[in-house]
Structure 1
Amino acid sequence: MHFLLLGATGRVGTRVLERALADNHKVTALVRNPQKVNQRSEQLTLLQGDACHPGDIRHSLESVDVVISCLNTDGGTVLTESIPLLIEAMKEQGVRRIVTIGTAGILQSQEHPGLLRYETPDTRRSSTRAAEEHRKAWELLQASGLSWTVVCPTYLPDGEALGTYRVAREFLPEDGKSISVGDTADFTYSVACSQEYVGCRAGLAY
């Protein structure tokens, strides 16, 4: 399988890259600074570029089977700028499958039907800006007609993959408090290798 990986230098993206290369998949990583990628492999193609640049996105999608986006909000609008470009280029090149990282804030609330978790009165978020970015990205994927999955981890401390975690469609697993970077990467990679959780948000927690 040939993956396009965005966000390969981030916490989750670095581990997704390790897993994919360990399984001998081809990976194209579009990164702003290739020097930040520590992995080297004959299966890895590093492209220097910007996920918010249409030409860079189109070029990076050549011969790709699946897109994995581990981009975060980066304090700005990178998600809502890049996702429309990605959707358009994927349709042009016939790439159907995309798995992205979101946030548990855009999952449905258990206690407040009709609201997302970040919209509830008891949310502890001091700012909803990042959640709103993730929401817009999810809504664009919903309307895209692509085979999408948005992985929505809750509190995300550094840590290795334990391999034992809970997943819920559209909701956060009950009383879920955290999920490690390692297990988030493990789940993201496994979903990208399959047709599981297509067309839904997958809440992730221990």
Structure 2
Amino acid sequence: MRFLVLGATGATGALFVGRATADGHEVVAFVRDASKITPDGRLTVVEGDVRDAHALAEAMRGTDAVVSTLGLGKAKDPAKLIADTTRALVQAAENSATKRVLIMSAFGVGDSLAKASGLLRLLYKGGKATFADKAAGEQILTASGLDWTLAYPVLLTNKPATDNVHAVDLTALDRLPGLPRIARADVAAFLLDTAVNGSWSQRTAVLTTGH
């Protein structure tokens, strides 16, 4: 398959790119600064603004799916980055042959906040603006006619992959106790597997490490 990846230079995005290319897939990395990533035989790098629907549509040509792991890092003001990017991405995808879109969001966004433990809600208090930006973007995505999947990982770690991901539909989850964690490498693996096999269409998957 051929993927367009947003957030390819981020911690989880880089893991997705590495795993996808190692498995024989091709990746088009759409990045703000091309100097941060080195192209190779299976990796093409395109520099551009993720808010530019026309540029995204051009980069999307010939791809089978879009995977976004865009985050805000430590920025306290999201400046509508996720909402604006999602709007541009949806516009580009709706006007192209690429209809499959997978976005890594976060547990605690939107309806999932009420299903978090008290400890998690306490941790999430500092990210209200970021979570609101993500929720706004997701409303745009889910209102579209695209074949979308949202991934809601819990607290992320940089540990090695366990290859033991537990995914549950957000609508089927009652409450998530404690402070569950998952490795970014496992999230990258879930995104790749889901993109390849076409599962979780128009559903939101809450990701934790399996038991």
Give the TM-score normalised by structure 1: 0.88
Structure 2 gaps, min length 5:
none
> 1:88 is paired with a residue of what secondary structure?
helix
Structure 1 gaps, min length 5:
110-114
**Cα distance in 1 between the residues matched to 2:114 and 2:137:** 14
> Where do residues 70-149 of structure 1 align in structure 2 (5 Å cutoff)?
70-74=69-73, 75=75, 76=78, 77-106=80-109, 108-109=111-112, 116-117=114-115, 123-124=121-122, 125-127=124-126, 128-149=128-149
8 Å contact kept, 1:106–1:116? no
**Cα distance in 1 between the residues matched to 2:111 and 2:17:** 30
Q: Supply the AA of the counterpart residue of 1:186.
A: A
Q: Supply the AA of the counterpart residue of 2:121.
A: T
For 1:57, the equivalent position in structure 2 comes to: 56
Q: Supply the AA of the counterpart residue of 1:60.
A: A
> 1:41 is paired with a residue of what secondary structure?
coil
> 2:158 is paired with a residue of what secondary structure?
coil
For 2:169, the equivalent position in structure 1 comes to: 169
8 Å contact kept, 2:63–2:98? yes
For 2:28, the equivalent position in structure 1 comes to: 28
Asked if residue 189 in structure 1 is aligned to residue 187 in structure 2, the reply is no
**Cα distance in 1 between the residues matched to 2:82 and 2:174:** 22
8 Å contact kept, 2:115–2:175? no
**Cα distance in 1 between the residues matched to 2:43 and 2:137:** 27
Q: Supply the AA of the counterpart residue of 2:4.
A: L
State the identity %: 25
Asked if residue 178 in structure 1 is aligned to residue 181 in structure 2, the reply is yes
8 Å contact kept, 1:107–1:117? no
Asked if residue 42 in structure 1 is aligned to residue 41 in structure 2, the reply is yes
Q: Supply the AA of the counterpart residue of 2:133.
A: E
1:126 positional shift:
2.5
> 2:108 is paired with a residue of what secondary structure?
helix
| Structure holding more helix per residue | 2
**Superimposed CA distance per residue, residues 115-169 of structure 1 (whole angstroms, 9 cap, x where no aligned partner):** 6447x89821233111111111211111001110011001001111111121110
RMSD: 2.3
Give the ranges of 4+ consecutive aligned residues of structure 1 lying more than 6 Å apart after TM superposition: none
8 Å contact kept, 1:154–1:204? yes
Pairs aligned (count) = 200
**Cα distance in 1 between the residues matched to 2:175 and 2:156:** 15
Structure 1 residues 157 and 172, CA gap change in structure 2 (3 angstroms): farther
Segment drifting more, 194-203 vs 100-109: 100-109
Give the TM-score normalised by structure 2: 0.86
8 Å contact kept, 1:107–1:152? no
8 Å contact kept, 2:83–2:138? no
**Cα distance in 2 between the residues matched to 1:194 and 1:161:** 20
**Cα distance in 1 between the residues matched to 2:62 and 2:174:** 35
